[in-house]
Structure 1
Amino acid sequence: MAEAALSSVAKPAAQGGLREKVLRQFQFGDNAFHLLTKTCAIAVLVMLGGVIISLIDGSIPALSKFGFGFLTSQAWNPVTENFGGAPAIYGTIVTSVIALIIAVPLGFGIAVFLTELCPYGLRRPIGIAVELLAGIPSIIYGIWGMFIFAPFLQATVQPLLIGTFASVPLLNQVFAGPPYGIGILTASIILSIMILPLISSISRDVFDTVPPVLKEAAYGVGCTRWEVMRSIVAPYTGVGLVGGVMLALGRALGETMAVTFVIGNAHKIYPSILGPGTTISATIANEFTEADGQIYTSSLVTLGLLLFIITFIVLAISRLMLMRIQSKGAR
């Protein structure tokens, strides 16, 4: 009897010790996971801070010499060491905006077709075909644009635009000739093709998250397909759509090789989008290997800093837009 009593007391004690051991192991694993994730987050911040510090430090010589006039000057003369970033800033913003104007409606249209209109058996093949565009290297887009697409635009589209808007005020300046083939418009179209898969795939995935019961209820009360997309799907997926567009804008702002091939690489601002131009990324790619002076190198680093600032502003605006959309949805 005594042995049985001792065993009955020892058994819960042993179970309690095992439980404590298991809990300590779980606690150790949680602490290790917390430390690992915290270290990764801090490492990202440290690397980002290092990039910012390097850009600022490398930009000091150019900013000290040119000041804020660097932002408005169109000069780019390595011989006299007179540099300005206005054409590159202008080209970066204009090409990205035109690319979005072209790609956003097409991307949304592809997403609507694949989720609402396309026969079920064709959805996967068409979706894969569109997404394959994202896997093509940018230099391939550049080669195709330079040797095939630009000559096509020079022979057909650009003369048509010049002739059509020749008598229209303002637009005759925007579409002024001669038709070079390469230029701002060509680079923008190439960029729109490159960001199209990103917009369409994200939009399609976001549209698929809409509960079918909401669309079925709308169809049940007599709504058309357009009314369902406008009043049900678009408000429900607004945050995701804006996020996809901003991701595509970030891709367009930083694209280098494809733009370098087809934009013309002219350090001058032309009022016509048919004329040649340059972007920040294209300028850095073309000039960095030839930069042999402190001011020359610092000017290129300053362009990199400006691209970083532009991207940061775009991301900040996108976050504000997302917050406003989320707050409206909560109301």
Structure 2
Amino acid sequence: MPNQAQGSERVEKKRSKAVGGRGDVVFAGVAKGAGILIILLLGAVAFFLISQSYPAFVASDETVQAEVGFTRGMSFWQFAGAALFGTVLSALIALTVATPFAIAIALFISHYAPRRFSGVLGYVIDLLAAIPSVVFGLWGMHTLEPVIRPIFAWISDILTPVLEWWVRSVPGMGYMAENFDWWPLTPDLVHFVPPARNILMGGLVLAIMVLPIITSLCREVFLQTPQLQEEAALGLGATRWEMIRMTVLPIGRSGIVSAAMLGLGRALGETMALLMVLSAGLQVNIQLMSPGQHSTIASQIALNWGEAQGGLERQFLIGLGLLLFALTFVVNFVARRIMARYSEFSGANA
């Protein structure tokens, strides 16, 4: 009887191993197939963009100016450069505004707020990511713009005389302001022209849109700080802020950078909110408070695609899409590299 029982147990173990082995093989195959499918889809998108936009890249400036009606007399690279400049400028403004607030909110949720309240606040922050961009655009145009307009006017009244004195009194500043449109330290930097449908307003709307992404990632990074290190800092007499400054922020530095770069990637591809908020222009300058100066690649594609007549006009817009695809791909690739580096030195490995 014992021998029979042992024999049946061996049979059951072999059977379970065989079933488990088949399950592992199937799961590994499905996972590998999904990974290959994603790579193929990415390659298909890249192939489509390159093959469809190639004529726009090789067309002469005269051909582009004659056949593409919305270029305003620009060549492909002049138009793309101006749109790319506006894209990067609006995203950088959004990142500059959103990142400090996101870090502060994430620290409050993870280390200051009561547990029940922090859960509710975290849920509300996450809900912001589900709001469609067109709603942000409507809200920014009809609600935020009238509120921001007097603030922009006040900033312009305060800083414009300061920059005028700077350009007039500091050697070399007048020359830079007169000969280089991209030079930022001029009175035009803060010269406000109502309404507030300018790149700074668009950056503020974008900042609200990327705030949930950066906040959620920073919160998770801060929660991974080893509890023993926090308790050791508090046990040595550090205040809560000193503990955060000495343990939480240094350990989460790479995670903060990764969250900011993922937010940057989100801001670079935004379309409808900026299309509705901005008074579009194609200038390469740093006039943050003047309308009709800047635009973005995504908003230009959305603005002109419906009226494009096919041929070179659509190839031109697809070429802009290829540039935006490459830009967002580079940003997200760098973010993933930083996150991979962070995982090597996470609190679990401390």
Q: Tell me the CA shift for residue 312 of structure 1.
A: 1.9
Asked if 1:236 corresponds to 2:251, the answer is yes
Letter in structure 2 aligned against 1:113:
F
Aligned to 2:70: 77
Distance 2:328 2:41 in 1: 17
Q: Is it true that 1:26 corresponds to 2:41 in the alignment?
A: no
1:219, 1:291 → 2: CA distance? 64
Deviation for aligned residue 1:181: 1.0
Which residue, 103, 107, 121 being the options, matches 1:112?
107
Distance in 1 separating the partners of 2:84 and 2:39: 27
For the pair 1:149 / 2:144, whether they are aligned, the reply is yes
The aligned residue for residue 3 of structure 1 is: none
Specify whether residues 242 and 66 from structure 1 end up closer, same or farther in structure 2 by C-alpha distance, changes over 3 A only.
Answer: farther
Deviations 1:70-92 (A, max 9, x none): 9xxxx973587954212210111
Structure 1, unaligned runs of 5 or more: 1-6
Q: Secondary structure at the match of 1:274?
A: coil
1:215 aligns with 2:213: no
CA distance in 1, matches of 2:325, 2:194: 33
d(CA) in 2 for partners of 1:317 and 1:58?
A: 27
Within the candidate set 293, 296, 304, 1:287 is matched to 304
Structure 2 CA distance for aligned equivalents of residues 317 and 147 of structure 1:
36
| Alpha-carbon distance between aligned partners in 2 of 1:260 and 1:17, rounded to the nearest angstrom | 68
| Cα distance change, pair 171–221 in 1 and its aligned pair in 2 (3 A) | farther
Q: Map of 1:1-331 to 2, 5 A cutoff?
A: 16-66=10-60, 77=70, 83=76, 84-154=79-149, 156-167=150-161, 168=163, 169=166, 170-275=185-290, 276=292, 277-322=294-339
CA displacement at 1:183 relative to structure 2: 1.3
SS of 1:85's equivalent?
Answer: helix
Pair 1:267–1:234, CA change in 2 (3 A): same
Deviation of 1:327 after TM superposition, in Å, equals 6.8
Work out the CA distance in 2 between the residues paired with 1:32 and 1:324: 31
Cα deviation, residue 164, structure 1: 1.5
1:200 Cα shift? 1.5
Q: CA RMSD in A?
A: 2.7
Segments of 5+ residues of structure 2 without an aligned counterpart are: 167-184
The answer to which of 84-93 and 8-17 deviates more is 8-17
The one-letter amino acid of 1:51's match is: V
Once the two structures are superposed, residues 22-70 of structure 1 have per-residue CA deviations (whole angstroms, 9 ceiling, x without a partner) of 3322222111111111111111010000000001011101101158xx9
Larger Rg: 1
Q: Tell me if structure 2 keeps the 8 A contact 1:255–1:281.
A: yes
Match for 1:126: what amino acid? Answer: L
Q: 1:231 to 1:66 in 2, by over 3 A?
A: farther
Instruction: Give the counterpart letter for 1:116 in structure 2.
Output: H
Is the Cα–Cα contact under 8 Å of residues 152 and 181 in structure 1 kept in the other structure? no
After superposition, the Cα gap between the structure-2 partners of 1:293 and 1:121, relative to the gap in structure 1 and judged at 3 Å, is closer
Deviation at 1:234, TM superposition (A): 1.3
TM-score, normalised to structure 1, is 0.86
Deviates more, 1:143-152 or 1:121-130: 121-130
CA distance in 2 between counterparts of 1:45 and 1:215 reads 41
